[in-house]
Structures are given as C-alpha cells and as structure tokens.
Amino acid sequence: MEFRATKFPGLVVCIPRVFGDKRGFFMESYSQRLFADQGIETAFVQDNHARSVQKGVLRGVHFQAPPHAQAKLVRVSKGAAWDVVVDLRKGSPTYGEWYAETLSDENFHQLFIPQGFAHAYMTLTDVVEFQYKTDNFYAPESEGGLIWNDPDIGIEWPDCTPVLSDKDLVLPRLRDFVSPFVFDG
C-alpha cells in the first residue's frame, strides 16, 4: 500500500496494491500492520456501507464531537465520489481549509481522515457503494455538521445539482460554529 501525506497534518491518501489477472483483481483493502508501519495506530471498531443511487447525492458535511469523535478510512468499491474533508482542529495550520480526493472503483484510492475533520462526499456516478471504517461507534447525540456550500469554507463541488437529506439542508455555517476539536500537533 502506498501512503501519500497531504498538507493537512494526519490526512493521508492510501493506495492499495492491486493484483490483477484474467479473473479480475485481488487487493488487501486494509492492513493494521501496514498502517502501524506508517505510525497510524488507529483501532477501527465499526464498518459502514452506504449505497447512493443517483449522481449528485451529497452526504455531509458531518462529524461526531468528542468523546465520540471518529477517525475514518474511506473508500469507494463501486462508482466514483468526490470525497471532501474540512479541518476543524483548533490550532491546526489548516483549520477551516478543505481537501478533496476522487475515490473510485478504478483508482482504488482511500483517505485516512483523523479525528477532528468533518467529512462529506458527492457521488459522481449513478450508483456508489461507499465503505468506511471508524474508530468510534455511532453516537447520534454527538453528531454535528456544517452546511455544504458555506462560502467561508468554499468547497469546490462538481457541477451537479446536489441531492441532500433534510437534515443536511439546515446545517450551520463555520462562522456560527465553535469547534470542539483541538489540534494535538
């Protein structure tokens, strides 16, 4: 697996080794040992799988607040998605900044997202199977989020009419938000 650091401390693009042959392919989509070799000791406790059934589905921008904050390892096993994170860690050099990566069943890219980031994605194909691990369990009472088109964040979304849940339509703006996350260097 190849690990590519980004300018966001702790945010890493992970690209597994894919073994193709006449039958198809095989890959280790996750290895605790390979991540530990990179200093990523995250112990995941939950696997999630979300299917989206039209292009333009936008889920997010979500997080769980401490003590239920979640680090995530996200990937797309069918279709393609524009995956976006926003650094919400007070004191981080990239606080309030966003990063995006196209995840697809062709590039096999994954994103390791540390605790302290909000996460979202927009589907680029009609069917997207989005699969991810988290290091804390679902805790709905701790859920928070930011509105997808916050001009102060300025996320550049694909040119597509977004399909959002009712709850995601009324999320707050960054300027009205006090982050519960602290950057620990």
Residues labelled catalytic: 62, 132
Q: How far apart are CA 52 and CA 178, in angstroms?
A: 31
Q: Residue 156: how many CA atoms within 13 Å on its side-chain side?
A: 4
Q: Which CB, 66 or 93, lies closer to ligand T46?
A: 66
Q: Which CB, 83 or 96, lies closer to ligand T46?
A: 83
If 0-12 CB within 10 Å is exposed, 13-18 middle and 19+ buried, where does residue 22 land? exposed
Residues making contact with ligand T46 (CB under 6 A)? 48, 50, 59-60, 62, 119-121, 138, 165
Q: How far apart are CA 112 and CA 35, in angstroms?
A: 10
> To the nearest whole angstrom, how small is the minimum distance from the Cβ of residue 82 to ligand T46?
12
Instruction: Kindly state the helix (H) or strand (E) to which residue 37 belongs, with its residue range.
Output: helix 32-37
Q: Which CB, 88 or 120, lies closer to ligand T46?
A: 120
Q: Amino acid letter at 98? A: W
Length in residues, the chain: 185
Q: How far apart are CA 120 and CA 142, in angstroms?
A: 17
> To the nearest whole angstrom, how small is the minimum distance from the Cβ of residue 25 to ligand T46?
26
> To the nearest whole angstrom, how small is the minimum distance from the Cβ of residue 20 to ligand T46?
30
> To the nearest whole angstrom, how small is the minimum distance from the Cβ of residue 119 to ligand T46?
4
